[in-house]
Amino acid sequence: MTLLTQTQAAPRQQGAIERALRSPKGALSGGWLLLVICGAVLAPWLTGYHYDIQNLTDAFRAPDASHLLGTDEFGRDLLTRILYGARTSLTVSAIAIGISVITGMVLGATAGYFGGWLDRAVSVVVDLTWSFPEILVALFLVAIIGPGVTGTMAAIGVAYLAQFTRLTRAQIMAIRNETYIEAARSLGARDSHIVLRHLLPNSLAPVLVSGMLATGDGIILEATLGFFGLGAQPPTPSWGAMMSSGTAQLFRAPWIILFPGLAVASTVIAVNLFGDALVRALDIRSRMREV
C-alpha cells in the first residue's frame, strides 16, 4: 500500500512538459522561452558587439541593418544589451525563486508535519512577510543588503518565500494523516523518511508550478529594482536599467525603452502561459479541489 501510494503521483507528473507542449499555448510559450534562454546563453556568438563598450559616434542610432534594434545614448548596440540583459534577468529570477522554493518547502513541510509551537512560529513569520507587498519587502531588503545582483536575489527570494511555505504547509497538512502515512509510522519509519519519501513527492507538483509562475513575477520585480537603480549595477546590463535610461530619451529615441520593455513583457507572458499549460497538464486545479 505504501509503495503504491508513494508513486501514485508519478503518472500525473511524468511527461507533464510533453503534455503541456502539445497544446498550442504551451508550444508557443515554450518555444519563446527556449528562444530567450538560447539567446541569453549564446549571446557572445549571436552578436558582434560588446555590451559595455561605448561608441558615442553611433549614439541614438535608429534600428537599421547594422544595429537591428538601434543603439542607446552611449552608442551601444541595443540587441546585444538585451541578450546579455536576459542573462541577468533570467539568472537572478530563477536562482532567487529556486532558493525560495526549496526554503519554503522545508519550512512548510516541517511546520505542516510537526505542528504545535513550531507551526505557530513559522506561521507568524510567514504571515508577517505575507502582509506586505513583494516590492516593499524587496526594497527594504535591498536597502539593508545594498544594490547589486546579490541583494536583488536575496530580496526576490525572501519576498516570495511566504507563498511557497504556505502552499507546502497546506499540502502537507492535507495528507499527513492519510492511511499510507499511518502505515509508514507503524512500520517504524522515521519522520524524515516520511516527509522526504511520502509527503513531499505528493505535494511537489503544485509547488513547482507555482514556482514557475512566480519566476515571471520575479522577472518583473528584478526589472523594477533595476529601473530604480537598485538591481544589477553598470556596466552589467539589465532590462529594468535599460528601460530607466530610456525614459529620458523617450521622444528622441523611443526604441531604447520600447525593446527592453517588450522583452520583459513577452518573457513574463510566456512564463505565465507555459505555467498555465503545466497546470492543465498536471490537472492541479482538480487536485487542489479534492484537497
Closest to 71 measured CA to CA, from 207, 259, 248, 217: 259
Statement: residue 1 has pLDDT above 60: no
pLDDT digits (tens, 9 = 90+) for 83-97: 999 999 999 999 999
Structural domain spans, the chain: 17-42+81-262
Which residue has better confidence, 192 or 46?
46
Label residue 165 by pLDDT band (50, 70, 90). very high
In this prediction, residue 217 carries a pLDDT of: 92
pLDDT digits (tens, 9 = 90+) for 225-245: 999 999 888 888 999 999 998
Which residue has better confidence, 131 or 42?
42
Label residue 3 by pLDDT band (50, 70, 90). very low
pTM of the complete model: 0.86
Look over the chain and give the mean of its residue pLDDT values, rounded to a whole number. 86
Kindly indicate whether the domain formed by 17-42+81-262 is annotated with CATH number 1.10.3720.10.
yes
Closest to 69 measured CA to CA, from 80, 59, 58, 84: 80
| Residue positions counted in the chain | 291
Statement: residue 69 has pLDDT above 80: yes
Statement: residue 76 has pLDDT above 90: yes
In this prediction, residue 283 carries a pLDDT of: 67
Region of poorest pLDDT, from 11-20, 167-176, 232-241: 11-20
Strand, coil or helix: 229: coil
Closest to 278 measured CA to CA, from 47, 43, 21, 34: 21
Q: How far, in Å, CA of 25 to CA of 247, rounded?
A: 33
**Average pLDDT of 159-184?**
86
**Matching residue, cell 499555448:** 25
Q: Which residues neighbour 78 within 8 Å (Cβ) at sequence distance 6 or greater?
A: 67, 69, 70, 71, 72, 242, 255, 256, 259, 260
**Matching residue, cell 536562482:** 95
pLDDT digits (tens, 9 = 90+) for 245-277: 899 888 899 999 999 999 999 999 999 999 888
pLDDT digits (tens, 9 = 90+) for 99-140: 999 999 989 998 988 888 888 998 888 888 888 888 888 888
Q: How many CB atoms lie within 10 A of CB 24?
A: 9
In this prediction, residue 126 carries a pLDDT of: 85
Q: How far, in Å, CA of 64 to CA of 270, rounded?
A: 27
Please check whether residue 183 is in contact with residue 2, taking contact to mean a CB–CB distance below 8 angstroms. Answer: yes
Statement: residue 189 has pLDDT above 50: yes
